[in-house]
Structures are given as structure tokens and as C-alpha cells.
A and B are shown apart, each in its own frame.
Chain A
């Protein structure tokens, strides 16, 4: 299966030239890179907004912006990070690039639909961001668009809602494409329980994308209908129910957390065995726990609403189910730890990210249990504690796993190695900045500091200073990481086929891969 003589997907000359060879390409690898660049651009914008928020919070009272501007900034930060970065995140970038290769296929099942998904992403992003620059002022509802405020606010909320709706389509089509690809295009001999774990997590994720996303799409359209046509879905004065909005919103948005975290777990399940030089411990248990997380994850949304005024039966049911979902997550953690046990561990950049993922994800998971318990939730609801927990899970989970994945697969994607000394320096600065930024927010939350406020009482000042400094440290680490990767993509040393000794199919083909990955579809023994 020597296909090293074929031109790589980066060099291949197709029907179109220049930028059109990218934006009209149906090659899953080029589409993966389109997502990489567009999502990274959105991430940098949203990270900058986060930095502005932390700068505002460095002292009580007005520091750099007024309360209204702060509301707009945290709303745009949330909408951008959630809908444009973390939900598409790993599946759209690493999934698109590696899913077909890892299952021994030449592309996804519907390559044109795949390109359409990226175009929908771009259109949705433009519509959502346009809400900032036209009409009656930037949206100020937060990324959750809670009714009844979302249809009473005078701010320009409609484009943001419609943008999120279009982005939902992009997500659904990607999920559908991945499911069909895995059912129909696995290489001969690759039975379900021989499939690598990253595709398995993409499979679980794809089902969530397919089933949960339409719920939020319809819900956002209901808000639009309520705002434009005065139909009473959620407004009590029109006979609607605001709690129903929260139910419908979280029926999607909690599973969305698993859209974010499951592929992250898949990346970690690839990185750890490669750098421990061992087979993954408990493959079947990890597969089962992936599907269990995807399944049970549908039924826990109510823990976002413990203080909203639900019935007692619901409170108990949701609290119980929330504790249940911790079990499959813990199964994964124990399996990763067992894989490390007596392994021949190579501490390279992807492994640093993977082990720091374990650390921050466990803190995020355990503080999730604090929020899942009814008694403590009442006190911590809508405080900085929730923001800290959420960032430990989503940024600490998905973000760290994404950086683990991009450092792991970078040689395969670009065919070049990166400077590991700079990559490790970036990681340690980022890691320290992350902890300094978010850990104090747990303390602030326990002390009672509410989230989404641009001002606070003087008692919270010193802890906020530490947290804000953490934000600057973390951004410094991010700059080091990004500059190093960009520079290395052009000037790094040429990468071999398998620089880390990985065992999955992507390491059997040249770096970077040729257009259709395999000259002959491999047979799995």
C-alpha cells in the first residue's frame, strides 16, 4: 500500500485554483482545514472578548466599559464560543480530517453535503455576528436567549437567533454524514468493535447532533414567532410559559455539552495509549461508556433549572439522572489511568495536554456533582462557581483535548513537525494561566459573587485581580502556541509517516496524506 508517490491533498491541483480550490473542495481534509481556520478565527475573537470581560472585572465599578456594553460582550462571547467554536469544534476539524482515514475510507459518504455544512457554518456565523453591527444594539440576553427577556429586549436579537438556527443545520448535516459514513464505509474487516475510539466518540456525538439540535432550532424559531407575530409560547401575558422555554432550550443545550466533550474524550483515548506505548485499557468499557454518555446525556437537562420553579418530582428525577451520567465519565477516567499504569510513558507535547486534561476535567466533573446536588445548587446557582465549573469542563475538557489532538495530528495534517520546546512552553504558560483564571472563580462563587455582573462588592476585589491576571497569562500562552504552530506549518522539519508510533490507520499513510488517502482500501485483520 505504498502511496507515497501521490501528490498530497495540499499540493493536489483540481478543477479550481487559488482560494476556490479550498472553498469549493469536497475533500474531507481540505474541509477540515477550512473549519480549522474559520473556527480558530472565531475562537480568537471570542477569547479577546473574554479578556475584555476579565479586564473590566479587575476592579469594582466601571473599569473599561459600561454595564450595557458588558452585557453585550458576555453575550457575544457566549454565542461565539458555544455555537461557533465548541459545538462544531473537534468533530468539524479533527473529525472531518481523520474520521474517514481512521476507518479506512477515501472520504465521507456525502462529500458535497460536507462542503454545504461548512458553507452553512460560514453563513450562520455571518448572520449571528451581524447582530452586533445593525439595528437597535447588540444582543444582551446571554447565549441562552432566555424568554421572556429575549423577546422583550430592545436589542437586536433576531439575527443572533436566526444565525444560531442556521448553525444548527450545519451541525445536523455533519452528524448525519458521519453516521452514514461509519455505517457504510468502514474498511473490510473493521467490525464495530475494531473501530478506533475517536470515531466511536464521533458516532455518539453525531447521534446527539442529529436528535437534539432540531429541538433548539424549533425553539429559537418559536422565540422569533413570539417576537414577530406575538404568538404566546413563552410569554405569560400571552398565555405562554417561560419555564417551557428553559426546558426546550436545555433539552438541546445540555446534550450539546456532550457534543463538545465526547469527541474530546475520543482524542484523549487516542493520545494516551500512543504515548503510554500500550493498548487502551478496557476498550469495550470505553465504547459502552461513550454510548451511555450520549444516551443518558439527553435526560439530565433539568439540572440547569433547579431554581426556576420546577415540580419536586422533576427536581429529584433530574438530580438522580445527573449523578447517573457521572458513572460512564468516571469509567473513562479510570480506563485512561489504567492505561498509563506500567506504561512506557513518553512525555511529549500531546501527552502534556492529555494529562493536564485529566486534571482539569476531573475538577470540572466533580464540581458538576456539587451543582447536580439539589441542596448545594440552590446556593451556587447563577454564581461565578457555575462559570468556573463550565469553563473547567468545556475549556478544560474540549480546549485541552483539542490542543492535545492538534499537537498529536499536526505532523499528519501539515506534513511538518513543530518546535516542541516552544509547544511545551506554550502549554505550561497556558495551563498555569488557566488555573489562575478559573480556580479563583470557584471561591468567588462560594462567597456569593453572581455571574454576568460587571460590578461587585469590594470583598471580591483581590480574588478577581488574581483571576484577571490569570486571563492575561493564559492568553500569553495561547499566543506562543498559535505562533509556533503557524510557523511550523510552513517551516517545520518534514514529518515522517508515524512520528509518535501510533497504531491507527492514519499513521500508515504519508504525511500529509494524498487526496484520497489510500490507493487501495486497507483490509483489517
Chain B
């Protein structure tokens, strides 16, 4: 394995990410009470997406790893976003 050097992330960073995830979760419950019409699912998915980015980047060390891996995950997210947008063309419009 060529990249055997592992970044040790501090407890403080993990704690902050945990707090951020809890805030996002509370926020995602809150937005269900707002009438956002066709965008209600988009709002829920955006919050879920932000939470995923935090988990990928910090907990799964994507932020500290080779940029190639981040690029691969980004490609996957782009594909999934397009798939969701096209699916909702059938529901919203």
C-alpha cells in the first residue's frame, strides 16, 4: 500500500462534526413543517447531502486522502443528483 500515512483526527473535530450532524437532523425535521411545494424533497435531500459530505470528509477521511478518491465520490454524487432530478421531472413538472 503506497499511502500508509494516516491522519489522526482530533476528538474535538469529531465532536464538532457530531454536533453539526445533530443540528442538521433537527433542521431536517423542522423543514418538514414548512410548505415548500415541489421543493420539499429537494430541501430534505440537500440537508441529507450536506450530512453525507461531513461523514465522507471527516469520519471516512476523504478530506485527508488523495484527491482522486474525492473526485470519484464527487462523480458518484453528480450521477445520483442527475438521476434524482430526472426522476422528479415526472413528479414536479
A binding-site residues for B, Cβ under 8 Å: 211, 243, 247, 251, 295, 298-299, 302, 310-311, 313-314, 317-318
Contacts and interface: CB of A to CB of B under 8 A. Distances in A.
B89 A299 contact: no
A295 B79 CA distance: 8
A311 B86 contact: no
B89 A298 contact: no
Contacts of B83: 251, 298-299
Interface in B42-93: 76, 79-80, 82-83, 86-87, 89-91, 93
Tell which of B86, B89, B90 has the most Cβ of chain A within 10 Å.
Answer: B90
A302 B76 contact: no
> Does more than half of chain A's interface fall in helix, strand or loop, or is it mixed?
helix
Nearest to A321: B86
B22 to A, nearest CB: 26
Interface residues of B, number: 11
B90 A211 contact: no
Contacts of A314: 86, 89-90, 93
A442 B65 CA distance: 53
Given A311-B93, A313-B93, A211 B79 contact: yes
Nearest to B90: A314
Contacts of A317: 86, 89
A302 B87 CA distance: 9
24 contacts: A211-B76, A211-B79, A211-B80, A247-B90, A251-B83, A251-B87, A295-B79, A298-B82, A298-B83, A299-B83, A299-B86, A302-B86, A310-B90, A311-B89, A311-B90, A311-B91, A313-B89, A313-B90, A313-B93, A314-B86, A314-B89, A314-B90, A317-B86, A317-B89
A103 B63 CA distance: 30
A153 B79 CA distance: 35
A311 B89 CA distance: 7
A115 to B, nearest CB: 22
Given A298-B79, A299-B83, A311-B93, 19 more contacts: A211-B76, A211-B79, A211-B80, A247-B90, A251-B83, A251-B87, A295-B79, A298-B82, A298-B83, A299-B82, A302-B90, A310-B90, A311-B89, A311-B90, A313-B90, A313-B93, A314-B86, A314-B93, A317-B89
Contacts of A318: 86
Nearest to B91: A311
Contacts of A295: 79
For the complex of A and B, list the 7 residue pairs with the smallest distance between their C-beta atoms, beginning with the closest. Answer: A314-B90, A313-B93, A314-B89, A310-B90, A313-B89, A311-B90, A247-B87
Nearest to B87: A247
Nearest to A316: B89
B90 A243 contact: yes
Contacts of B86: 299, 302, 314, 317-318
A189 to B, nearest CB: 16
Contacts of B80: 211
Nearest to A246: B90
A314 B89 CA distance: 6
Contacts of B93: 311, 313-314
B16 to A, nearest CB: 30
Contacts of B79: 211, 295, 298
A172 B16 CA distance: 34
A317 B79 CA distance: 16
A243 B91 CA distance: 10
A247 B91 CA distance: 11
A73 B91 CA distance: 35
A363 to B, nearest CB: 29
B81 to A, nearest CB: 11
A298 B82 CA distance: 9
B46 to A, nearest CB: 20
A25 B11 CA distance: 43
